[in-house]
Amino acid sequence: MVRLTVTNAQNMDDISSNKDTSPAPEAAVAVVVVPFPAQGHLNQLFHLSRLLSRRGRLSVHFVGTATHNRQVRLRVHGWDPHRHPVRFHDLPTPPFTSPPPDPTTPIKFPAHLQPTFEASDALRGPFADLLRAISKTSPRVVVVHDALMSFAAREASLVPNAEAYAFHSVSAFASLFFQYESRGANASALFPELPKLSTDGCFTDTFMDLVRRRHRMTEAASVSGRLLNTCRPMEGQFLDLLAREPFAHDKKLWAVGPLNPIKIGRPARHECLKWLDKHPPKSVMYVSFGTTSSLSEEQVREIAIGLERSGQRFLWVLREADRGDIFADHDKEGLRLPDEYERRVRGWGLVVLDGWAPQVEILRHESTGGFMSHCGWNSCVESLSMGVPIAAWPMHSDQPRNAMLVTEVLGVGVTVREWGRRGEVVRAKAVEEVVRRVMVYEEGREMRRRADEIGVAVRGVAAAEEGGGCGGHAELDCFVAHITRRV
């Protein structure tokens, strides 16, 4: 675990700009939430919508394509529509192709989703119409948009009683690096204690063109502040940095996480949870690489053999990456395990093939003792919330930086494969060794102790929320106080 010394950052007074004026007497503040159409982004902004719907008398509107709104409702954990009323608005988009993922590409970024991302540009016109309609019945309209859906900020700037806030679906740590690098600066100079990390292989050129195009649109609009799905027990020092210049851009900043539910009451339990019930505390390694990562047949085989040879209990969710439309009919061969594999590991290893598993509940289960993960920010927050150490295997996007945060800064994880060797297949021996480091060795016990400490603190941020009150998520309450302030 590294204690970081900050260099090359200007000093500034402590965060005082987040103080809010008294609440408006009217109850009619409409919050319009605009997510980016990828599972990790959809998930975070829907959970924000869920939490906002319980505060004051806000009306919360969730805006997206019919396909992605349906996807959210299918996969969300911990949502009771009676306790958390959220109104969905299905906006039209032109047809878009939904090609399969290609696990053989050297860059693991989900380029097969690019048609979906491009199609979201067509939401601008219908969104503008919806925004104007809502603005006629609400004294104030607050647009909370994914930072990659910047047209929403532009349209909000054209409505007199609307204001826009950008939601960043990455960690504060990754956000600092991205902002530094966008200026052409050497981000490694910001934290000289950390290993240097190349940005090569994180994104495709085509996706970065889309990001730059939408970033220019944001610059032309007025964004009133920023929100992140994080909290001080996880990233306090990085939040302090983001609240200062040159990173603050004279904008308010709220760390409103953790957004994922901490407790889930559900009468019907997934079969994998019943399987976990049969095993001792902290004895199972959970393995999952998210919804956008694709593994080659060779890599699947090496993981399978490594897990088997480790001799440790494991729960492996093995699925193909999402397509742009998860509901469309597709020819699907499915991922294949070695012959007789499930028979050989029966009783101490469980593979959930091509299915959807309740990740938050798995991580919360007392039998789960480690998480082999791609280090998507959702997964990191959920794992840290539950005090589970991580075997970090980043694939693309912000994941290499999240992996560095987990392993080098917080000291609650180990690296499966160095980012500089991302083009190589991770062999069974390496998988076996990493599993044993987390689950068996003293190193793993120490990581689990630190993860437990962070988990207790993170759960404390949200404890009152899950208990049925509104006393948790103090920064979220500050944000609500701000958007309901008197004019």
Catalytic residues: 41, 146
CA 364 – CA 386 distance, rounded (Å): 5
User: DSSP states of 130-189 as a string?
Assistant: HHHHHHTT-SEEEEEEETT-THHHHHHTTSTTEEEEEEE-S-HHHHHHHHHHHTT--GGG
3-state secondary structure of 370: strand
CA 166 – CA 234 distance, rounded (Å): 21
Residues 6 or more apart in contact with residue 144 via CB below 8 angstroms: 31, 32, 33, 34, 45, 48, 164, 165, 167, 227
**Closest Cα to residue 197, out of 484, 340, 399, 35?**
399
Q: Which amino acid is at 286?
A: Y
CB 296 within 8 A of CB 425: yes
- The owner of tokens 């851009």 is 249
Q: Are strands 29-34 and 368-373 parallel, antiparallel or unpaired?
A: unpaired
E strand residue ranges, 187-308: 223-228, 252-255, 284-288
Tell me the torsion sign for CA atoms 407, 255, 231, 393.
negative
The β-bridge partners of 413 are 390
